[in-house]
Structure 1
Amino acid sequence: MSGNSPEAPRHAPAGGSDVENAFAHHDHAHCAGEVLARAQAEAERRGLRFTPVRKRVLEILLEAHRAMGAYEVLDRLASEGFGNQPPVAYRALEFLVEAGLAHRVQRLNAFAACMHPGESHAPVFLICRECDTVAEAGAAPLRAALDSLAQGLGFAVERASFEALGLCPTCRAKLEGTL
């Protein structure tokens, strides 16, 4: 599935971890603008070089409001004159992930903008197996359990994310015939 649904984009509320609202409809333009502003402030605070291509890649991820593959990002960059060589997209995506401004969603081999830039968090990605919509929600209890387990083994977790596969409310309703 492509995840290119014509419906309004969905994600976990910025700054929140309320899983039951993770797929709620919202004002996408306001949300994307707010997250971009926080990401830029975080990059500036940390002295990171937020080049035009890095900023544009983050904007593309925010505009799509879903996980995107590197080549899909590259196609968008190329159409806007940023170059069409894969390293252009991969380097920018790698920077954003390392800076905590984007996440790699392993299941989809794709990237999604971090909806909580500058916040210490362990995200859980709720991935719809039908439409590939991805919601980012907080996973503090999971992270605490992981840290406790790791500590018992003498291991210090530096970064973690969690992925769960299932059905979003829209796809569940479609499959149950209630839409």
Structure 2
Amino acid sequence: MHINIQTLLIQIKKICEHRHVKLTAQRLEVLRLISQQYHQSISAYDLLNLLRTSSLPHAKPSTIYRALHFLLAQRFIHRIESTNKFMLCKYFLELSHNFVFFICNHCKQVTEQTIKGVEEILHHTAKLRGFVISNNIIESHGLCFNCTNSTHVSITNSSFLSQRK
């Protein structure tokens, strides 16, 4: 899936105006940088380095963290808990959605996929234990389709070659 970053940023500007929240130039630039990493997640310090080379050479870590805090609060981005990295929310136009992250251990691609019914299962199970869920993040680590196929081919070929010797 290919996105038009300019169109995306225009949509987000309109959403911020509608919500009466301020999308500063720095927040917008951080969002643009995250948007360029469409199928990847990025760390705060990698964002800081990109920000310093692209538009704000004297940016400080607090600049990034304030922008990330705002973008997370507005649900434009997600934090990948297991890697402490950030990525664009593909479904930010929806008021809320349940999702799972599929994170490739090999190529580091991160795919956000909406899922139906998991929230009800989690809340039901929590209720049985007397637990109230305030937040849930589901992350699955493994190999994406491309890496599974290339790994399978590599394993198959190396097994075949070692058997022939």
TM-score band by shorter chain is 0.7 to 0.9
Could you list the runs of 5+ residues in structure 2 that have no partner in the other structure? 155-165
Q: Is residue 66 of structure 2 the alignment partner of residue 80 of structure 1?
A: no
TM-score by length of 1: 0.76
Q: Which of 146, 153, 164 matches 2:140?
A: 164
User: 1:37 & 1:57 partners in 2: Cα distance?
Assistant: 14
Residue in 1 that maps onto 2:80: 105
How far residue 68 of structure 1 moved from its aligned partner, in angstroms, is: 0.2
How far residue 99 of structure 1 moved from its aligned partner, in angstroms, is: 1.3
How far residue 86 of structure 1 moved from its aligned partner, in angstroms, is: 0.8
Task: Please say if residues 68 and 110 of structure 1, whose CA atoms lie closer than 8 Å, have aligned partners that are also in contact.
Answer: yes
Residue in 2 that maps onto 1:62: 35
Question: For residues 14-25 of structure 1, what are the structure 2 equivalents within 5 Å?
Answer: none
Q: Structure 2 vs 1, CA of residues 138 and 150 (structure 1 numbering), >3 Å: closer, same or farther? A: same
Question: For residues 140-155 of structure 1, what are the structure 2 equivalents within 5 Å?
Answer: 140-153=116-129, 155=131
Larger RCO, structure (CA 8 Å, separation 6 or more): 1
Residue in 2 that maps onto 1:51: 24
Residue in 2 that maps onto 1:7: none
Q: Is residue 110 of structure 2 the alignment partner of residue 129 of structure 1?
A: no
Query: What is the letter of the counterpart of residue 73 of structure 1?
Result: L
* Identity among equivalent pairs (%): 28
Cα RMSD for the two superposed structures: 1.9
User: 1:128 & 1:33 partners in 2: Cα distance?
Assistant: 28
| Larger Cα-atom Rg | 2
Task: Please say if residues 102 and 114 of structure 1, whose CA atoms lie closer than 8 Å, have aligned partners that are also in contact.
Answer: yes
How far residue 131 of structure 1 moved from its aligned partner, in angstroms, is: 0.9
Q: Structure 2 vs 1, CA of residues 87 and 123 (structure 1 numbering), >3 Å: closer, same or farther? A: same
160-169 or 142-151, larger mean C-alpha shift: 142-151
User: 2:7 & 2:130 partners in 1: Cα distance?
Assistant: 39
Task: Please say if residues 122 and 160 of structure 1, whose CA atoms lie closer than 8 Å, have aligned partners that are also in contact.
Answer: no
Could you list the runs of 5+ residues in structure 1 that have no partner in the other structure? 1-25
Query: What is the letter of the counterpart of residue 162 of structure 1?
Result: I
